Amino acid sequence: MPRELPGLYWDEEKQRYFPLASSRRLQVVGPSTLHPPTKAQSAPQTTGESHNLKRHLGNRSLLRTKEDARFSFRTTHKNKLMHQISCLQVAQTSHVASSSILSLTCCAITAFQAVSYNNNLHSFAGDTGGWFYSSVIGRDEPVTGHHTSHGWRPEFSLSSEISSICISGSRCIATSFGPESKILHFPLDLDSEDIRVTRVNNRSVRDIWTADFQGTRLVLGANDQAVVIDDAADRATVCFMKTGSDVFAVAQDNNIIYTGSRAGIVQRFDSRIASTKGDRIFNDPSTTQNNSVTNLKIFYDWQLLTSNIDGSLAMFDLRFPSNRKPIMSFTGNINSYTTKTPIAADPHEQFLFAAGQDRRIRLWSLRTGGPPLVSPASVFQKPFEDPVRALQVVEEEEGVLGLWATSGAALYKYNLGQRMEEESEAMQC
């Protein structure tokens, strides 16, 4: 009697062992196929058959690659088409609501920010007289005209023009411009009383032009320098980054800080390095001389948008800081000497808005750049009576965008993509 070997069975007719797996495969076919395969069945493939099999598999792989490429092309084409439709809808915006924020003064609004926090819409504004205002609206209350119906509360006077308002987490910070610049810390929590006004403990710091607040770090653009406060609440560490020119624009990405100056120079600093000397990036003396940088904004984690006092808007690749040529330009903006010409983008980074010296707001696609998106029926074709000093795009509901703009003492809200006839039809229904 043959021995039982693990994983093998003995075939009496063939007088040899076969793997049990072969027996199982044969049993599935039927009783007549219980025997192991014949030599003809088990013979290895010839060289020609093997070549044909490889060619067949190669053709299948090539077909699969082509099909994946077609699918990728269709997806890209669909996304491009959807973006073009969105551009057309936003460009045709004709619904705008306006209200007066400041009923107690005739000063112009210089800064504005709105954010959703704890199911409330918190709005903040500052004016040329130094007053800081706030408004809190519940999410279940109507948004249109809410500033008129609920009013604004004057919170503090910083004695000089409010130059910036920025929000991070549960805290709002406002800065003032002048020889004795101040910093207002204002909590979003309605029950909190942690409201403070501070100054930078350095007599050389004055004229805060702008600020950027992310996490706990506050970066100020001041005279001839940028001021970095690592913990804005506790002011644990204050660092001074000398630029040699007034800083009109700042942006930060983790530990990297970017500054744009009156001299038209963009510099990059690393807050982890003790040295305060920055690196000049995208430096082209033929275009930057006497062309002040008025705005900086980071997109897609690796692109930096710059706006200059001559009205130019350009996107640069942060991965190649020595490259002087922008990867994208946005044409048609108008400016020649105004340092306060705001820009704004939607939270999904699809559209760019910029206010020009001609008191018009223009719209571009952040995907394509080029000339502004225009439509004859759009409200963006109409100029304001006063300069536009602040812009912000807020996503009020999923997919519903609103553009906030301030001009003079008035606040304007554009329901992006909505036209007047659409609103009339909705009201009739």
Contacts of 324 (CB under 8 A, 6+ apart): 282, 283, 284, 287
Of residues 351, 362, 366, 415, the one with CA closest to residue 388: 362
Q: What is the pTM of this model?
A: 0.79
Sheet containing strand 328-330, strands side by side: 293-299, 303-308, 313-317, 328-330
* pLDDT of res. 182: 94
Mean pLDDT for each consecutive 10-residue tract of the chain (429 residues)?
A: 65 73 47 44 52 60 66 71 87 82 75 93 94 86 49 90 96 94 93 88 90 96 95 82 96 95 95 82 76 96 96 96 93 94 95 96 95 85 93 86 93 85 47
CB–CB of 247/219 below 8 Å?
no
CB–CB of 353/362 below 8 Å?
yes
Question: What are the Cα distances from residue 290, in Å, to 153, 226, 287, 310, 332?
Answer: 41, 20, 8, 9, 20
β-strands 153-157, 162-168: how paired? unpaired
pLDDT, tens only, 53-66: 556 656 666 666 66
Token pair listed for 108:
């112009």
* pLDDT of res. 39: 44
* pLDDT of res. 10: 73
CB atoms within 10 A of CB 127: 25
State percent of the chain over pLDDT 70.
Answer: 76
* pLDDT of res. 7: 64
Token pair listed for 306:
């710059």
CA-to-CA distance for 220 and 239, rounded, in angstroms?
10
* pLDDT of res. 97: 84
* pLDDT of res. 30: 43
